[in-house]
Structure 1
């Protein structure tokens, strides 16, 4: 492809992205499209995207929900291998109200008259600054970060931490803060009062009448985005549950790497009793964690599990006495925060992506991940400490 044709395709791509032209993107992107975004971008956006749908929904779509931005190309150059080098700027305004202004370099590949690949380099720090919103007060969720350990605590104890629109919005807000906070090395999720969460706030559902479909769509959109961001954090997550975990609130259990449950905890989906199909990632996580038959039991038979059952089925990692829950979960989060954060991030991605990868793809991913981990200061220090028969100290870099 000559330079003029390559520039024309690139210009059409940027116009389609700026206008949200889905049909235009379908026409421009090759079925074998592969994208790579800068590592370290907030919202867990950095990394590889296979296929046009993944790039459109998981990268560009998620950006559009958090920032109104344009990629404005300023310089084009055709490389010797036929790829197109593009330099420009991202400009726009995040939902936080902060301005985004970050340089980018794109390298575009082409096949069969379409864009077949995009490698992006940009200033991830500028993106993190634009998407962070540290000054906003939270009403229903508490969030603090101390010495690398973040604590996200649901705080509607009077309604057993039921999830309404405000909770959903604030969980999304906290997820954004977590993704943007480079000091975060582990996250602990817990709940105030007698119950971790009963799931969606049914009293709200009953008050919206015929507007229920739209209300549920408004509420699940930020909540699901929060779960997606949390599942893709580099920092490992510990969840501590007690009392009950139900409905969409189970999603906050699923995103954890280590899940602690007090002995008295009950687990249930509860959707069928309300004539609803479910949210919170239940239909994706449950079959993978407990198997399709047991997932069906939880949905169709409305099976309620106690903590021992939940551990045996694979929903939680540890069952502890109720009065020891906070201590045990905090200690686990503290241990993880003192560990090799960058390596933990690679491990989280490998475990998550293995569910949709072939063995060959996973072996390649492991090679790439271990090479990235090996380049960190923590890996160099740990190898040296091992050879010297010393205990390594990890700094998360």
Structure 2
């Protein structure tokens, strides 16, 4: 019960909405929907001391986004301490259909069949990331790394926008046709040689190369399969795997290494394994003189280190170990006129030194349709 003159009663009388007569007894009229609305009783003395601006916040002006500034020169960006903002990847197809000279049915079909290089593979090969300090030298070196891939015709990296100390960078690449089938035939000395080759340098745009070859020569018939990648799973690892089945034996080889992929790369290393079984032929004046079986094995392991770029020069040191083993025996079903060569095992350490100058120039390869290198 609220007494007359109470601050609670005054607020209740002015704040409470009128109640329909049909609902005054506590029931609901036919077809009426209950609209539950809680009523809060607040002392008027409390509300009188509250500023209206605290009850309903006054909307303030929204600050406009910072306008883009004209992109300064590379020297100005470095002097102002600019950092890399957004990195935009734009990979173009083989042919530019917007160019009337390349807009024809054959080129459009080639673009449709070709699987473009994946953006993640391009991004993994860049030497910079969002938040890094802007350095034109690093952008130029990233261009060279991209152009070193056989599946790119060209690569360009440029700043396109500057705002609030951050510079957005565009990476523009263009693919080449990477499917290379081939057939060859030759005849020399009354003997035929044939080969059938199939090579894909950029399988499904992942940077993985695969090739198959069938060859027939006077020495042997061979079927081989080669898999290779210069950026295994988006890393800097270079890998190569070869399997060959020959009429006179077989060959297996594997390579894995991380090279000095950039001027500031501090370490590198790798290993190579080769296992080759074959029949070698010695020819004399009357034709075949001897045939003997060769089993060759080769193992190479190496590591390298560098102090990185110092001024314009990079010094790289490598150390490794090689074991080269060749064992010989008569070929199956052959009677040798001379003894087989003696077995040979070479095992030796080695060291290497490389001096690289940071002085590169762009050039066009005329044998590959003006490809930039």
Measured against the shorter chain, the TM-score band is: under 0.3
Normalising by structure 1, we get a TM-score of 0.25
Normalising by structure 2, we get a TM-score of 0.26
- Higher helix residue share: 1
Greater RCO, 1 or 2 (C-alpha within 8 Å, sep 6+) = 1
State which structure, 1 or 2, has the greater radius of gyration over its C-alpha atoms: 2
- Higher strand residue share: 2
